Structure 1
Amino acid sequence: CATKTPINNKGDCHVYSLPYLFDDFLFLSNCFQGGQFNKVRMLMMLDRYPFEEKVFKIISEDFPFLQKLIILNLKEQQNDQHRSPTLIRFNHLFKLNLINANKGYVKQFLSQRKTSLPCLTNLKIRYSTLASVTNDFTNDETRLNCTKIKSLYAFDVTIRSQNFDSYFPSLCNFS
């Protein structure tokens, strides 16, 4: 069990036992202490405080077969200037939901210098955030993690950029 400083007279507590025998792990927060979660395929992260890069490094190691990741956090990351040169790898992640995530998480996951996503084929995201992070679909640093995406759900699309189609050459489904 891990707790945080209470806000509004409420505290957080997440209790689980090892070995963790479920496929889904819901509501992981910054107070995650680590452990081996080989069976988990879907992870939902939620916290009122920002997730820093070190949390994602721990997750990539402790959830080695993670296939689906949902990040629910609109708080800006604080330690952007202290980024580690270590590449974070999610070898099996094929579905990433960043609709309710701060732009910093989008930068972290789509940047090939920060995160390797060799199997990413499904992305859910706000179009405005995606366009901003990819510099209107011209940024080469984020292009590699987008090239294999086959299904893109982009919330708040008004008009697609002229560079959009070339940025997602594998795209089959766009909504």
Structure 2
Amino acid sequence: MLRLRTFKFCISIKIRRNNLVHYLSENDIQRSFINMKQHQQVDCIINYRYGIATCHVFSLPFVFDYLKYVGNTFPSIVFNHVIRLTVCDEVSFEHEFFHRIAWSFPFLKYLWVINYQPQLSKLEKLNSNYKPSYSIVKYPYLISLRLDTAYIHYIDQFLNETKTHLPSLTILRVCYESFTIVTRNFRKSITRLNCSKVKKLIFSPVLIDSPITKAKRSKKFNIYFPLLESCVCSLYE
């Protein structure tokens, strides 16, 4: 019987941190696959977030289209097949992190951001004369973006056209109150371009008596979303 030479896999494990005797490192994981590495490349991603440790061990090249719970630390490789990604960490995501995401996941179509920590660059700007210089992050294929589980800074990070370019965005899920603050009640021009092609908008959560739940939307709202076909107002998280 012929021996198996190639095995394409992605093994994901989640465990509560308080159940770990010690924190796993990338070297710990790599050593457990030392025999397999004689025939093919293996890599891993370890993320510690909100009391949970997540470990992805996978063969290279990565052939799957979905990857969940990637944090600030991940290998500098290109995931050409991944179109769905969830990023999550208890440490803030800075602008450079999203550059790395764009480089490592060049064909990304669906992105979900989970991070409740403010960006350090935003705090530094508030506390000093610090004026960061950004190069624009480009996601040419991104069609769906979920930000309702992210701190308000990440709404500006993605919708501010001087920071991020989203030419294909058609589905946006975001916290209503945070969105109105960032866009100054749909008056801020610098966050309008990345919203201009959105066809489905999901606000979560939103108050029943808020203006957006009423049949007639404001003129400024319609200018922000000229192609909007569906607006869903979720009353609960």
Q: TM-score, with normalisation over the residues of structure 1?
A: 0.91
Q: Note the alpha carbon deviations across 1:6-47, whole angstroms, 9 max, x for none.
A: 987x75544333211110011101111221101000000011
* Residue 230 of structure 2 corresponds to residue 173 of structure 1: yes
Aligned to 1:159: 211
Greater C-alpha Rg = 2
Question: For 2:155, which of 106, 121, 142 is the aligned residue?
Answer: 106
**What aligned pairs does 1:114-133 form with structure 2 within 5 A after superposition?**
114-133=163-182
Q: CA deviation at 1:48?
A: 1.1
Runs of 5+ consecutive residues of structure 1 not aligned to the other structure: none
Q: Which amino acid letter does the alignment assign opposite residue 159 of structure 1?
A: P
Q: Following TM superposition, where does structure 1 have runs of at least 4 consecutive aligned residues deviating by more than 6 angstroms?
A: 4-8
Work out the CA distance in 2 between the residues paired with 1:103 and 1:74. 8
Map residues 24-173 of structure 1 onto 2, 5 A cutoff: 24-80=66-122, 81=125, 83-157=132-206, 158-160=210-212, 162=218, 163-173=220-230
Letter in 2 for 1:57: H
Shifted more, 48-57 versus 78-87: the winner is 78-87
1:30–1:166 distance in 2 versus 1, CA, 3 Å: same
How far does residue 79 in structure 1 lie from its aligned partner after superposition? 2.3
Give me the whole-angstrom Cα distance separating, in 2, the residues matched to 1:6 and 1:125: 22
Counterpart code for 1:126:
C
Paired with 1:44 and 1:111, the residues of 2 have a C-alpha distance of: 21
Percentage of identical aligned residues: 34
My pick for the range that moved more, 83-92 or 67-76, is: 83-92
With structure 2 as the length reference, what TM-score do the two structures score?
Answer: 0.68
> Alignment RMSD, CA only?
2.1
* Alpha-carbon distance in 2 for matches of 1:144, 1:18: 37
Gaps of 5+ in 2: 1-25, 27-44, 126-130, 233-237
